[in-house]
Every structure is written in structure tokens, then in C-alpha cells.
Amino acid sequence: MKSSRFLCASLVSTVIFLSPKCPLKAQSGGSNQQRLNQVLDQMDRAAANFHSLQADFVWDQYEKVVNETDTQTGTIYFRRAGHNVEMAADITEPDRKYVLFTDGKVQLYQPKIDQITEYNTGKNRAEFESFLVLGFGGGGHDMLNSFDVTYAGEEKIGNTNTEILDLIPKSPKVRNTFAQIRLWIDPSLGMSIQQRFTEPGGDDYRLAKYSNIHEGKIPDDKFKIKTTGRTKIVSQG
């Protein structure tokens, strides 16, 4: 169960974190609603420019009951394929894993046991893909269809002054997984460089940090899982 929640959190956060690269000037004046609209407007304009990008990531999953933090690091890839968005994650630490989302299916490959676990989004595909377009394919104001979004101020992350957005899922089903999502948006790039996904109860959370973000064509092989002739495939529906 823990690994399933970690995978779910990883997938959702990775598809949310990037809005396309486009300058966004930090605004020091105006009400919170005005500043929220400024950020959402910029995300709307930037959405049309998204094609593909990659970034390094650090994913921390904290569970209070055991007071432990599980950390995974690696590289994430995104690209738009027609009207769809594909995502691939190359997890390098602590164990090598590959995650691929394409054609409505999530595949998790674990080289250590030479096994692919497949998760078909099925009837939940529309809901899952709605996360995929958050921040780029769907634009800023599209988030308002699924979330109550508020502007939460500014915060310096490293050397970057960020604009903070808080998202509360409107769907009770989604709130059962994440009670709140916080995005730290780099106004010079128009993308989120950090996110926190807080689970119901407010104690357990997942923190995602992204760096070395690059746009440009990504080789096709990054969106293919390299298996062996003995790879076992397990379907989870």
C-alpha cells in the first residue's frame, strides 16, 4: 500500500510541476485575487508553447507514524504527442526504476526483479489526464474546474523568488488522496520548481523539487522501457 501511494503521488506531482517556460514578472502590488489572476493568465498564454522538456527531481515522501522520509531521485521527461501528453521518469536512487505514462497506461519497470507492473487508468483516464494538463496543456484557468485555487504569497526557494498557489481538490475522491496541493512557481520561467502534496490529516506529505530544467526535443527512446527477454509483465487492472 505504501509503495502504491508513493507511485500515485509521484505520478500526480510530476505531471503538475511544469508549466511551460515563459517569462512571468513578479508583481509586488495588487490584491491576492489580482495576483492569482496574473499567474493564471500567464500560465494560459504559456500553455500553447509547451512541446517537450526534462528536469532532475528529488521526491520526498514523509510518513509521521514511522517518522521516516523516503527519497527518490532521477530525471523526468515530458512531451506533447498530438492532443496527448506523455511522461517518463528515470528513477536512479535508491533503486533503479522506470515509470512511463502513455496511451492511458502507466508502466512501472523494476530492473532488479525484471518486472513491469501495468496500471490501466481505464474509466479514470479523463481524471488522470486532467492532472497531466495542469500547468501546461490545460492552462492556468483550467485548474479552476477541478480545484479551489488561492494565491498564498511569495517565498524564496534557494536563490529563486517564487509565487505560491494553494490548490484544494473539489472532488471528494481526490481529496481522499490529497487534501491540499501547494505549488511554488518560478516567475522568471513560468513553471513550478517545488510542490507539496499533503494527505488527509495534514501529517503525511510528499515534497517534490525540480532543477536543471531544459526544453527541446527528447529522444524517442526516453519514452520506451528497455526490457530483457525474461521480463515479467503484471497487470493491476
Per-residue model confidence as pLDDT tens digits over 45-99: 767 777 888 889 999 999 999 999 999 999 999 888 777 788 899 999 999 999 9
Specify the DSSP element, H or E, that contains 135.
none
**C-beta separation of 87 from 14 below 8 A:** yes
Neighbours of 54 (CB within 10 A): 20
Residue tagged 520548481 (cell numbers) = 193
Per CATH, the homologous superfamily of domain 2-235 is: Lipoprotein localisation LolA/LolB/LppX (2.50.20.10)
Per-residue model confidence as pLDDT tens digits over 10-20: 555 555 544 44
In sequence order, which residues have a C-beta less than 8 Å from that of residue 188 and are 6 or more positions away?
23, 24, 160
Domain ranges of the chain: 2-235
C-alpha 3/C-alpha 162 separation (Å) is: 31
Look at residue 154 in the predicted model and tell me its pLDDT.
92
Neighbours of 193 (CB within 10 A): 21
List per-block mean pLDDT (blocks of 10 residues) for the chain, which spans 237 residues. Answer: 52 51 48 88 74 90 93 91 83 94 89 93 69 57 87 92 91 88 80 88 92 88 93 87
**C-beta separation of 60 from 206 below 8 A:** yes
**C-beta separation of 161 from 187 below 8 A:** yes
Q: What is the pTM of this model?
A: 0.82
